[in-house]
Amino acid sequence: MDKNTHTQKSSLRRQAEERLAARPSTSTILSQVDAIHLVHELQVHQIELEMQNEELQQSHAQVETALQRYSDLYDFAPVGYLLLDHLGIILQANLTGANMFEVNRADLVGRRLGMFVAVPDRAVLNAFMVRAFADDAKQVCEVTLVQTLGQSQSNCLFVRLEGSVPENRHECLVTVIDITERKQAEQALLENNQRMKGIIEGTYAGTWEWNVQTGETIFNAVWAQLIGYTLEELAPVSIKTWEQFAHPDDLKKSYDLLERHFAGELPHYNCEIRMRHKDGHWVWINNRGRVITRTADGKPLMMFGTHIDITERKLTINALQRLATTDALTGLHNRHHFIELASGELKRAARHRQPPALAMLDVDGLKHVNDTYGHAAGDQVLVTFSEVCQQHVRDIDVFARIGGDEFALLLPETTSEEAYQVVERVRLVLATRPLELDGQQYVVTFSAGIAGMAHAHETLDALLARADMAMYRAKDAGRNRIAM
């Protein structure tokens, strides 16, 4: 019994004695047998109270543990959380949110959110707050946060705000999502488009004139330069010249669009095709044109158009698509793309009655690695883990990094037992491939939870939740293991 418990019992006894003394005297002479029975009953009652007290203390400890776990999830979520009043004053913030503002959490509370928003965006924020308190629907806006790094230095962070107000309409819960990378990518794309516009305005575009009836063509010098040639090298030219350098897979698409334009279904011909460069690589060309004259019987006669090199734009779009769907460190699907792919797979599985299995995997001890060896070592652990996993999954499997040290693996047409074998193979392989961190051997381990679809209409959220619960059972059981 600790000191606090002893003090509490002494206090309760004193209060009980005071109440007993205050009651009217009901003196009764008890026989010895009655007295013994009464003492026995009191002792039993005392033990019952002690057992109830122990149960209450255990329940209290469990509640405290759960609260701490949810507090950690709240504070270290990958997005910021703010609680605002109707004036935009910050009432509460998680650690991620405070870090976005480069301000201690204690110093953040009580200040207006607008103080941290760039002046041109404050009207956007005000309108967002008005809508949030006036409408039940979730409100969204994008603003720029200004982080003060010093007396004369600041940094801009582009964020997406998603806000909703509970039924009491006194406080607004706002999620703050860092979209700086996306904004920078959009800016890069905008700048690239401006460069392309400058090229067009500078007339550096390949031009072509085509007699549709005879096949005769006229190209300018840039048309040839775009694929690494001079006009002299290509002479004599005709429509066959274009067909010779166009990618075979793109010719059918191009002629289908041309026929639709000739028939009047499309006002312009516009097609993106690949053309073989003199050096051997493929150049993406935006081929645009329009029929200007027709024959007396309405057939297309003369058509004029341009060739614009859009290779750089294509590469940028592909890079943006990769940025939007992959994790930068591991190259795996990110959480958003995983949810998109996994949701589609669950729908397909329901149609064909071929349920998948889902595994949630959490790398053990990553925080310890970061704190002991540095974040570069932590990144090495994550990359090694993801590479080994990828060696043991199929092309049809969906493998993603969905959090700092959490990964998800959806295995189509797979039972939970089969999924267990796959994950167990990964665990055993990792045990044979220790990393060298600061001159020491470090074995990467993980805890995993596996769940199969409970029924054909189970949602992805429900499946994720069950796999996640299994994973936490594995962690609670000592880590480096798999729970079903």
Q: Which of 362, 381, 361, 360 is closest to 370 using CA atoms?
A: 381
* 333 Cα distance to chain centroid: 9
Q: Say if CB 272 and CB 285 are below 8 A apart.
A: yes
Residue 137 makes CB contacts below 8 A (sequence gap 6+) with 164
Q: Which of 89-98, 151-160, 442-451, 468-477 has the lowest mean pLDDT?
A: 151-160
Task: Work out the angle at residue 80's Cα, subtended by the Cα atoms of residues 78 and 84, and round it to the nearest 5 degrees.
Answer: 160
Tokens for 229, please give them. Answer: 């040639």
Query: Is the pLDDT reported for residue 13 higher than 80?
Result: no
* Predicted confidence (pLDDT) per residue in 166-221, tens digit: 877 689 999 999 999 999 999 888 888 787 666 655 757 898 999 999 999 999 98
In the chain, CATH 3.30.70.270 sits at: 326-483
Q: Please report where in the chains the tokens 């999830």 appear, as a residue.
A: 73
* Predicted confidence (pLDDT) per residue in 58-109, tens digit: 777 666 666 566 555 666 788 999 999 989 999 999 988 888 888 888 888 9
* The model scores a pTM over 0.75: no
Q: Does domain 326-483 have CATH number 3.30.70.270?
A: yes
Q: Are strands 217-219 and 206-211 parallel, antiparallel or unpaired?
A: antiparallel
> What is the DSSP track for 126-150?
HHHHHHHHH-SS-EEEEEEEEEE-S
The alpha carbon dihedral of 96, 99, 104, 108 has a sign of negative
- E-assigned strand segments in 182-229: 206-211, 217-219
Q: Please report where in the chains the tokens 């629907």 appear, as a residue.
A: 137
- Neighbour count for residue 448 (Cβ, 10 Å): 26
The SS3 call for residue 322 is helix
Residue 46 makes CB contacts below 8 A (sequence gap 6+) with none
In angstroms, rounded to a whole number, what is the distance separating the alpha carbons of residues 387 and 399? Answer: 11
In the chain, CATH 3.30.450.20 sits at: 80-178, 198-316
As a CATH number, domain 80-178 is 3.30.450.20
Helix (H) or strand (E) holding 248: helix 248-262
In angstroms, rounded to a whole number, what is the distance separating the alpha carbons of residues 102 and 148? Answer: 7
In angstroms, rounded to a whole number, what is the distance separating the alpha carbons of residues 59 and 52? Answer: 11
- With a pLDDT cut of 90, the percent of the chain lying above it is 58
| Residues 20, 22, 25, 30, Cα dihedral to 10° | 10
The mean pLDDT of the chain is 87
Q: 198-316: which CATH number, 3.40.30.10, 3.30.450.20, 3.40.50.300, 3.40.30.120?
A: 3.30.450.20
Q: Are strands 139-148 and 154-164 parallel, antiparallel or unpaired?
A: antiparallel
Query: Is the pLDDT reported for residue 35 higher than 90?
Result: no
Q: Is 225 exposed, middle or buried (0-12, 13-18, 19+ CB in 10 A)?
A: middle
In angstroms, rounded to a whole number, what is the distance separating the alpha carbons of residues 128 and 130? Answer: 6
Q: Quick one: pLDDT band at residue 440, thresholds 50, 70, 90?
A: confident
